Structure 1
Amino acid sequence: MPRTDNNTSHVLAADPGLAPVNTLPGVGPVLEAALERIGITRVQDLWFHLPLRYEDRTRLTPISELRIGESAQVEGTIEAVERGFRFRPQLRVVISDDTRTMLTLRFFSFRRAQVDQLTPGARLRCYGRIRHGAHGPEIVHPQYQRLSGEGSGIEETLTPVYPVTEGLGQKRIAGLITHALRKLPADATLELIPENLRIHLRLLSLREALLLVHRPPAGADVASLVLGIHPAQQRLAFEELLTHHLSLRRLRAQVREHAAPRLRGSGKLRKAMLKSLPFALTAAQRRVSVEIEKDLSLAEPMLRLVQGDVGSGKTIVAAAAALAAIESGFQVALMAPTELLAEQHLRNLRDWLVPLGIEPVWLAGKVQGKARSNALAALAGDAQLVIGTHALMQQAVEFRNLGLVIIDEQHRFGVHQRLALREKGRDGITMPHQLVLTATPIPRTLAMTAYADLDVSVIDELPPGRTPVTTVALASSRRGEVIDRIRVACAEGRQVYWVCTLIEESEQLEAQAAEVAHAELSSLLEGLAIGLVHGRLKPREKQVVMDDFRAGRISLLVATTVIEVGVDVPNASLMVIENSERLGLAQLHQLRGRVGRGSQASTCVLLYQPPLSAMARERLTAMRDTSDGFVIAEKDLELRGPGELLGTRQTGRLEFRIADLARDAAMLGDVQRIGAAMLDQHPLACERLVARWIGGAARFAGA
């Protein structure tokens, strides 16, 4: 590979961005540790610690013109203050402005000094996201200041909002970034994309883009900054997309340098398993199985992602791959993110494989004492297949000869976890094959970027016998009709899910909401066996309830979103999702996939609290209009961006600092073309780009 980078060592030495962050004023050991938690160790990390969004505090909005789901700044006079205890202490402050419209400010965490300051007659300026409350619009935990006299002037420019962590607030990080920006060098040192390529793409200089994005000047195009389409943001988005592409291309090449065992089984066990099944594989399942077989037969590590909508039959495809490894004398590890999902795999694989003489080993966090010792001994000995959770990655777990790693719902694992399991199979220069499964359909643009290091297979066909699910959206005022429908369904011998959701991401609050719903439904549906499952139950308690529901001893299961994956009850044909407007499309689709798994006509009822925001209305409409997971995924990417589909960078999943795949998809062609040219002609610049945008996370990216 030709290397045309000139004076690279000189540039590195002269680059002030490589200085440790503790060289900035005010950065002592405590602050340095807080910065390190979010990946900031060098000055240049602060340059590229980009705003998540901007708050528009350049104007005041009359309370009467507030819109649900949007953020706004208002001023008003306190009319009433009320302290209460509903589930937990809370403080309600009601303000009004010249329009005589009321706005509620709600606090769940507050100090006595705040209560003393928030008194009737005081004037406040508040900023926050507007949501629908019981008595009109409200803001939960607004940012506010008490005004005195004429008050203070409003901001002249947009206010950037940065990612922060405990011990590092917005004010502190903004101050540090100001110090870091003073050390920005001239473009010659800063630029890593070759000049001829930048000119061809008409990109702004990097220095100009960084200064504008961090400190939008008076007169900047506010509308384009809020939308993320300002030329400065697009310049940075291009470089970030390019970096991720380069990182994954390099990673794929590095992994391919390792050897892997050739897993060429005779096919005898696979044929026996398929013959024993009460169903035939679909054409899509057969196609994907052939792709996997070909990969496993090669002497380089397989890196294959299998996408399939809920119920498309990914597990049987994974089982066939496992048998190829077992026939070749190698061990297989299947890891799932929750015990519910792992136990679902354990039941299925036992049914299919025990008749073939293969007894899966079970290893989860709750496996302790003698059972754990026996499981560990089996893995070091003659065990052929182990199924479990993150417990598989613990230090005490050792394999005899791990040849295939299967990871289900991989985006729920952090990069360190996936790397730890793969490393357990490394033997000198060899590495186990990897098969990754996901029931979260991934749009093509997202797969091109997030999984450039993986070969992607799609199971795009549902098995025969699966019934389509009818989806209806009903206002919560029709809750009584829905409960009557549950009564009829259970009388006919069918089973029902009632899913509780809360906007606050709190397991405790969700559990309380589920308990309240369980008590209410128990009183309204006397005589019905009603179960309750939520995240705060002990695993054993949760398992007892789920086993009773599977066996038909429970007719109605009240649950939180803990049932999103890993639950297969073919007799359940009705699902009610309460406060459905609070969930993203991907999660709604995953939940809906719990019904329609048998031959009965199935229904999903989306109960919502009016009025709906524009985005919530689009989500519910999409759910009513289609059951195609890939159509749903494209819509979810359009509405919410990649974060909902793949999660955050800190946990090893993909969330960009400034790029947006739905918005910036048109760049991907140029990204791939420029990436190929840079890998060929400017490899050292590629390394510096990866260090700049990804840093230490790069080595984990393909775990």
Structure 2
Amino acid sequence: MGDTPLTSLPGCGPKLAEKLAARGLLTLQDLWLQLPRQYEDRTRITPIGLLRPGDTTQVEGRVQAVQRGFRYRPVLKVAIADDSHGTLVLRFFHFRSAQVNQFRVGTRVRAYGTARPGQNGLEIVHPSYRVLGEDEEEGLGESLDPVYPAVEGIGPVSLRRFIAEALDRIPGDDELELLPATMREGLPSLREALLTVHRPPRDADLAALLAGTHPAQRRLALEELLAHNLSLRRQRIARRAHAAPALADPSLALALRESLPFPLTGAQARVFDELRADLACPVPMLRLVQGDVGSGKTVVAAMAALLAVAAGRQAALMAPTELLAEQHMANLAGWLEPLGVRVAWLAGKVTGRARAAVLEQIASGQAQVVVGTHALMQEGVEFASLALAIVDEQHRFGVHQRLALRDKGVAGGAVAHQLVMTATPIPRTLAMSAYADLDVSVIDELPPGRTPVRTVALAASRRPQLVERIRAACAEGRQAYWVCTLIDEPEEGAGAGAAMRIEAEAAQTTFERLSEQLAELRIGLVHGRMKAAEKQAVMAEFKAGGIDLLVATTVIEVGVDVPNASLMIIENAERLGLAQLHQLRGRVGRGSAESSCVLLYQPPLSQTARLRLETMRETNDGFLIAERDLELRGPGEVLGIRQTGLAEFRLADLARDADLLPRVQALADELLERAPETADRLVARWVGGATRFAAA
């Protein structure tokens, strides 16, 4: 029954079925699992006099007055009142003349929406509404109304009707259920859960449904998390069926370790041993290395690259920005070239004869380690024998991009090993589910001599004090950053270029103002609209000590290493997420001097912004910050789900449902061992064609 095509539904012809298919909705089962994203309670009417700001509810009243205006843009305001002596304004910005004519004084109107303070008391902007006849008896709903994710080309009423038709055909428990009763102890059956979530009764706990904690939703979340976990594990097994070159000669890696002017930390040594064990096997490695800002991931990656070189193969390191890639290039060249290893550089700005020469070195194998940006993945870049692909700040790349680099690896049925790195700590609960197809290593120790950064939050009105603080720090021979974040939002649809322009303008204005206030200091400027060569020149001068204060946008978020910089000021800090604030703070505290980070904010602060700034003040622990970030933002933003290729969940939430994950792990073990065919059916039901690109 679940495999029945949607064309079997009344009114769903080939054209509508095609639009549903574009959203991945092909069968009745797909509609059963097209779960509501929220609910509207039309089972009752709230007296207007009892409304409070923020209430989302249904009201009914008679039109008292109608006003149509064009001061800034067309606006229609309709005042309604009821017997509770309350008045409410319905405000419309998009309307037709026919709508205006509907609202005659005295007309009965039933409206649904969220009340908020307006110029003349409470108002609802663009409510859904019905004009009622004088004697019309309009009944109330028997259940909460589900609101489904939009499907392009199909109105919400039609979509609700198709889903209702599909639910009328849902089979009994025996046919529908895949999990044995012992696995879903304490939770309803799948059939009961689906019907409850789609058609909540009038007495359902609306607060629990909106929070995603209703037992019916927990039942569905358990099965969905289980299906995704099984999918990732299946793909991990499939990946290990491929061959990869065994890289077992540690001589060059150990030579690098001996030549370094500093000892590896215990965590670095442990993670390298894990990589070395993986790379010595003739199956593809796919390992994620997490390490907080400044933990020394690049050294470990360099040692892994030397395992490939010692085996007569090549390694490539790809970074998301030219600034970060160039820093990797400088480090790797400084470490590897004294060992006789040829390091090549390839980025978008390498053109003409220089590019042709680099491409020849890569194709011939003369370039043993290649560092670059996404240019490494482009057509025309051919490796002689790529055995290890290293991707830094992996969440910045799309899955297809990482696959494109891997596919340039060794041929003949073998694939390259992959090492992906991130300085954004990922909470353990998230890694368990989102990266069940990867092995995860953590560099959880900072090199000796690194001092914790003292963090304070100050209102923007205290800016003059900060200027004096910079003057004092630079007088002592220290250096400072002043980071400008987006102050004005670009207009809707303006795109990333507009945001970058606004940030650049903010940085330019700040640079000019500080240059006047601190005329005795050498001040530099870096922003995203500068040419790469200009940015690199300024950064090199700052690192060499030729610039006292660097005014920059968030372009300096990752990869910038200036040990003498001890003061970081982040303007409009309330506009940034925790992960980005932590990355920026990591630009200071890289030497032995006591360092500070000042979070300059514009009051009043939202509750979320206040929690972010408090977290930054309380801790320097990246993993603790990541856990809080997960609570505040959810897994989609923390992981950059659209970038990682992790299929979006229909209902499950990795933060909210974290307590289900140990149970999910145990169930996955049991199913793979005892009922692999059931595991396959679960994956087909929930994941279907939403490919995870597991090898990426």
Same fold (TM over 0.5): yes
Shift of 1:322: 0.3
1:421 aligned partner: 405
2:175 aligned partner: 189
| Preserved CA contact (<8 Å) 1:414 1:651 | yes
1:701 aligned partner: 694
Could you state the TM-score of these two structures normalised by the residue count of structure 2? 0.83
Which of 482, 506, 523 is the aligned partner of 2:513?
A: 523
1:601 aligned partner: 594
2:683 aligned partner: 690
Please list the CA deviations of residues 16-54 of structure 1 after superposition, one character each: whole Å capped at 9, or x if unmatched: x33445665666777666655544444433332333444
Provide the identity percentage: 56
For residues 579-598 of structure 1, the aligned pairs below 5 Å read 579-598=572-591
| Preserved CA contact (<8 Å) 1:487 1:525 | no
| Preserved CA contact (<8 Å) 1:63 1:97 | no
| Preserved CA contact (<8 Å) 1:501 1:561 | no
Amino acid aligned to 1:641: G
**Distance change >3 Å, CA 168–CA 278, structure 1 → 2:** farther
CA–CA distance in structure 1, aligned partners of residues 460 and 354 of structure 2 = 48
CA–CA distance in structure 2, aligned partners of residues 138 and 374 of structure 1 = 69
Could you state the TM-score of these two structures normalised by the residue count of structure 1? 0.82
Shift of 1:345: 1.7
Q: Which has the larger radius of gyration?
A: 2
Which of 15, 30, 36 is the aligned partner of 1:45?
A: 30
| Preserved CA contact (<8 Å) 1:72 1:130 | no
Greater shift, 660-669 or 150-159, is seen at 150-159
| Preserved CA contact (<8 Å) 2:484 2:570 | yes
Which of 450, 453, 456 is the aligned partner of 2:440?
A: 456
Shift of 1:312: 0.5
**SS where residue 342 of structure 1 aligns?**
helix
CA–CA distance in structure 1, aligned partners of residues 110 and 599 of structure 2 = 38
1:295 aligned partner: 278
CA–CA distance in structure 2, aligned partners of residues 699 and 660 of structure 1 = 17
CA–CA distance in structure 2, aligned partners of residues 339 and 137 of structure 1 = 53
Please list the CA deviations of residues 677-697 of structure 1 after superposition, one character each: whole Å capped at 9, or x if unmatched: 211232222112212222233
**Distance change >3 Å, CA 223–CA 549, structure 1 → 2:** same
Amino acid aligned to 2:385: N
1:410 aligned partner: 394
| Preserved CA contact (<8 Å) 1:515 1:532 | no
CA–CA distance in structure 1, aligned partners of residues 140 and 466 of structure 2 = 49
Which of 552, 562, 568 is the aligned partner of 2:561?
A: 568
| Preserved CA contact (<8 Å) 2:571 2:600 | yes
Which of 354, 359, 367 is the aligned partner of 1:376?
A: 359
1:249 aligned partner: 233
Amino acid aligned to 2:183: L
CA–CA distance in structure 1, aligned partners of residues 645 and 465 of structure 2 = 44
1:8 aligned partner: none
**Distance change >3 Å, CA 443–CA 356, structure 1 → 2:** same
Shift of 1:271: 3.3
**Distance change >3 Å, CA 428–CA 458, structure 1 → 2:** same
| Preserved CA contact (<8 Å) 1:331 1:400 | yes
Please list the CA deviations of residues 150-193 of structure 1 after superposition, one character each: whole Å capped at 9, or x if unmatched: 99999886554544476567566545434443443333332222
Shift of 1:142: 6.0
**Distance change >3 Å, CA 696–CA 468, structure 1 → 2:** same
Q: Quote the RMSD (CA, aligned, Å).
A: 4.3
CA–CA distance in structure 2, aligned partners of residues 610 and 234 of structure 1 = 39
CA–CA distance in structure 2, aligned partners of residues 278 and 250 of structure 1 = 44
CA–CA distance in structure 2, aligned partners of residues 500 and 101 of structure 1 = 42
| Preserved CA contact (<8 Å) 2:566 2:593 | yes
For residues 56-455 of structure 1, the aligned pairs below 5 Å read 66=53, 143-144=126-127, 158=144, 160-164=146-150, 173-198=159-184, 201-267=185-251, 269-382=252-365, 383-425=367-409, 427-455=411-439
| Preserved CA contact (<8 Å) 2:113 2:128 | no
Amino acid aligned to 2:176: L
Greater shift, 223-232 or 686-695, is seen at 686-695
CA–CA distance in structure 1, aligned partners of residues 450 and 440 of structure 2 = 25
Greater shift, 522-531 or 566-575, is seen at 522-531
2:672 aligned partner: 679
**Distance change >3 Å, CA 247–CA 529, structure 1 → 2:** same
Residues 1:495 and 2:480 aligned together: yes
Which of 631, 637, 645 is the aligned partner of 1:638?
A: 631
Which of 608, 613, 618 is the aligned partner of 1:625?
A: 618
CA–CA distance in structure 2, aligned partners of residues 463 and 604 of structure 1 = 20
Shift of 1:436: 1.7
Which of 596, 600, 603 is the aligned partner of 1:610?
A: 603
Shift of 1:234: 0.3
CA–CA distance in structure 2, aligned partners of residues 363 and 40 of structure 1 = 43
Greater shift, 398-407 or 175-184, is seen at 175-184
| Preserved CA contact (<8 Å) 2:320 2:397 | yes
Equivalent pairs, count: 670
More contact order relative to length (CA 8 Å, sep ≥ 6): 1
Amino acid aligned to 2:554: T
CA–CA distance in structure 2, aligned partners of residues 541 and 59 of structure 1 = 63
**Distance change >3 Å, CA 294–CA 155, structure 1 → 2:** same
| Preserved CA contact (<8 Å) 1:573 1:603 | yes
| Preserved CA contact (<8 Å) 1:577 1:606 | yes
Which of 638, 655, 667 is the aligned partner of 2:660?
A: 667
